[in-house]
Amino acid sequence: MKPVIVIPTYNEAENIHLITRPAKLGLGSAYIAGFKKALEIGADYIFEMDADFSHDPDDIPRMLESAQTADLVIGSRKIPDGKIIGWGLYRKFTSNGAMWFSRLLLGLKTKDVTSGFRCFRRRTLESIPLDEIKSNGYAFQEEMLYRVQKAGFKIAEEPVTFIDRRAGKSKLSKKDIVEFFLIILKLRKIKSSQ
């Protein structure tokens, strides 16, 4: 069993960088580059985590255990025993709104659709056409989840505590927010036409 953790960073110099890129090219493309590298080096389980210490590495063994019977495991803040520490009212409102919007339009069954703490089985990522992923910002999480669910893979959620960033600063821009809504609407259109 070979797990690999993909941690995209930007301006978080205390982290180790395995893939160096010339500029900020977007969250989605960073994850896709990391996923491809993980598959190339023979990973059986591919994790994604934030680089700002919001995700607890102590949750990895529990998520890995859950991945023995699931194709994708979400570190969930929205199921019993999952929680968020350090968010203000505005952040909670926008996150819950994004979750509600994407769950409604795409028929996502997962409770925490925006979580960036995930564990994919190798076969799951191998079956997703990574070069066809349309989103490059924060809609990337919903698009990946939508594609995994649509492909019929088993998705599980494990409760985690998300602690608001202790290092770095928020990278969510207005462009990311606009892209999020556009991508969800495009995916909804594709879903409706099938």
pLDDT, averaged in runs of 10, over the chain (194 residues): 74 53 67 89 92 87 96 97 91 88 93 94 96 84 94 97 70 74 86 75
Structural domain boundaries of the chain?
Answer: 3-193
Q: What is the DSSP letter of 18?
A: S
pTM score, whole prediction: 0.86
- The CATH class, in words, for 3-193 is alpha beta
Task: Quote the pLDDT of residue 17.
Answer: 42
